Amino acid sequence: MQEEQHDNLLQADGNESKESQTIVSEAIETIENLNAEVSEDGTIEESHDIPMQNYEAMEMDKLVIALEEVVATDKVMAVSKHVEEIKSAFLSKYNHFIEEKKEEFLHDNPNTEEEFEYHSPLKSKFDSLYNNYKTKKNAHFKSLESNLKTNLQTRLNLIEELKSLINPNENIVDSLKQFNDLRERWKNAGPIPKDKYNHVWNNYHFHVENFYDILHLDREARDQDFKHNLEKKTKIIERAQSLLQEADVMKAFRELQLLHKVWKEEIGPVSKDKREEIWNAFSEVTKQMHDKREMIFAELRGREVENLAKKKEIIAAIEQIATEKVEIHSGWQGQINKIEALRKAFFEAGKVPTEVNEKTWAEFKTAVRNFNVHKNAFYKDIKKDQQSNLDKKNALVARAKELMESEDFATTTPIMKKIQEEWKQIGHVPRKFSDSVWAEFKGACNHYFDRLHAVKNENEAVEIEAFEKKKEYLETVRAFEFSGNHKTDLDAIKAHIETWKSFGKVPFARRHIDGKFNKVLDGLFENLTSSKKEAEMMRFNSRLEQLSGENDARKLDNEKVFLQRKVEEVQNEIFQLENNIQFFANAKKDNPLVAEVKKSIERHKEELATWKAKLKQIRNM
């Protein structure tokens, strides 16, 4: 009985060394446990058909897409490991992200009593997908639990039925027929709880062995069955040996696992003289495959150690950057880009040994947090400046809105242009207000200048018409003929001036027409009187009337300032000349130099009288 149990329960026996036997036992136990798990839920086996990606290297949005893809299947246990890997990677990144957002919030609001809140649509979608998966998984477990209990009871009933067949007094042929039928029903009885798996199968094989013991009454039938089972197990060993040549060791191991399941669950015992030999052969192949699998795991662990070294270097680089002093915005942007590149490299570095995973992750977060502390301290001052800039821009917005409906375009336009120039000189404002404050300012300015352009377009046609009239009328003035009567001619000239003024303004680019008119007037005034001063005053009065008609106070003020300056200049020149003549006090009266200076003084006094008359005229307006 014990040998039969060895044959079917995969327990090694023989003359192997204890060390070798231990390795074989470990290999068999590994497969036993895996098969027990698969026996409970066959969909687990299908997880190998779904590739396990490097989820740790993915960004959060990609992880949500990956989760959405894997949970779309109805075979919830086939993707269980994938879901948990995605969950672990996503939550690590999300928690780090939230920590940074919270630090920013507390930095920006140091004295707030408001609770930190952050809504992430990405996190909401992740939670929804994961919760849906958990619901499907729970429903699967509930259904599976019910089936497992039913199947367990079915198998226990079959064992009881098998025990009833172990009766040497029964007809062997009938018993064998019933036994074969029972084995078929056992084969199709379905999965049972994994914690009951080995016990139930051991119990079943124990009674199968007892049944074969009574078959000695029909040795021919028993030997035939032994022979048939030996052929099947020999083929399994041959297939297992060929698996040792497979390049994909993990795939080969999974098939070996399946071969063990078939060996145990579907094939009966062989003759006692072959049991140890054939089992040892199968165990040896299993040991070799187990060794190859362990080598793969050792390589993976080696890569994890290498990944750990890379991550340590990355953490050290972040810590170094955190100590560097940076005092300008562009410099900090460069540092931020470096940290982001290191952060990406950290996640792409791959897995590290499980026992140091949390410690490594904590060190990484601490290094990034220290960098953020220095960065936030710098931008705290920047934000103060930006708030000041925002206040300045809001003041300009308010001013622009006050002026945007103004009808006094001559006065308002320079002010609006000045406001726009001031806006350009103000620096950045907080990003969340940048678009809105600019939109307000731009809207007010556009409204004003759109109105200005509309008025200008309306006036342009009138000004062009005025130009055409002045152009035609200029020829009339040029053809003026004096009557010989001073008053009549002066009134006629003044009438021409009034007519010219009545035509209105002309386009700026065509204002030369007014210059031509003034030149004609100068000639008329010179011909009208022999007094140079009188002619000059006539021209000046004409100019004043034009300036007054333009309603441009600035031009009149400029003219007044000009006249005051000319009065001062001529007075200074007269003073200098009179001072100079003192040097010739003892000279003869007919001295040519003295005579010339005196003439110059008289000319300057006449000129001064004219300038003073003009200044008086403009002051009396």
3-state secondary structure 364-376: HHHHHHHHHHHHH
Q: Quick one: tokens of 21?
A: 């036997």
Residue 536 · residue 610 · CB < 8 Å: yes
Note the pLDDT of residue 15: 40
Q: Quick one: tokens of 422?
A: 């001031």
* Burial class (CB within 10 angstroms; exposed 0-12, middle 13-18, buried 19+) of 364: buried
Three-state secondary structure call for residue 615: helix
Note the pLDDT of residue 585: 64
Note the pLDDT of residue 22: 60
CA-CA distances (angstroms) from residue 120 to 56, 102, 616?
A: 20, 13, 78
What is the pLDDT confidence band of residue 232, given thresholds at 50, 70 and 90?
very high
Residue with tokens 């002066």: 490
Of 194, 191, 189, 229, the residue nearest 209 (C-alpha): 229
Alpha helices in 479-531 (DSSP H): 486-502, 512-528
Residue 552 region by backbone torsions, left for phi larger than 0, else alpha for psi between -120 and 50, else beta: beta
CA-CA distances (angstroms) from residue 362 to 315, 402, 612, 616?
A: 10, 56, 89, 88
Residue 77 · residue 43 · CB < 8 Å: yes
- Give the count of beta carbons closer than 10 Å to the beta carbon of residue 166: 17
Average pLDDT over residues 418-426: 92
Residue 283 · residue 28 · CB < 8 Å: yes
Note the pLDDT of residue 23: 55
Q: Mean pLDDT check: name the lowest of 99-103, 438-442, 582-586.
A: 582-586
Q: What is the pLDDT of residues 485-503, one digit of tens each?
A: 888 888 888 888 889 888 8
User: Which amino acid is residue 125, in one-letter code?
Assistant: K
Q: What is the pLDDT of residues 183-229, one digit of tens each?
A: 889 888 888 887 888 788 888 888 887 887 776 656 776 788 889 99
Residue ranges with strand state E in 544-615: none
Three-state secondary structure call for residue 408: coil
Q: What is the pLDDT of residues 301-337, one digit of tens each?
A: 999 999 999 999 999 999 999 999 888 888 989 999 9
Three-state secondary structure call for residue 223: helix
Q: What is the pLDDT of residues 338-376, one digit of tens each?
A: 999 998 899 888 888 989 988 998 899 899 989 988 888
CA-CA distances (angstroms) from residue 282 to 4, 185, 273?
A: 15, 27, 16
Residue with tokens 């009885």: 189
Q: What is the pLDDT of residues 505-544, one digit of tens each?
A: 888 788 888 889 888 888 888 787 656 666 677 777 777 7
Of 63, 114, 120, the residue nearest 97 (C-alpha): 120
Mean pLDDT, all residues of the chain: 82
Q: State the helix-helix crossing angle for 121-165 and 60-70, rounded to 10 degrees.
A: 30
pLDDT of 17 strictly over 50: no
Of 470, 558, 560, the residue nearest 520 (C-alpha): 470
Question: DSSP label at 45?
Answer: G
Helix (H) or strand (E) holding 563: helix 553-581
Of 42, 13, 61, the residue nearest 140 (C-alpha): 42
**Phi and psi (nearest 5°) for 109?**
-130, 70
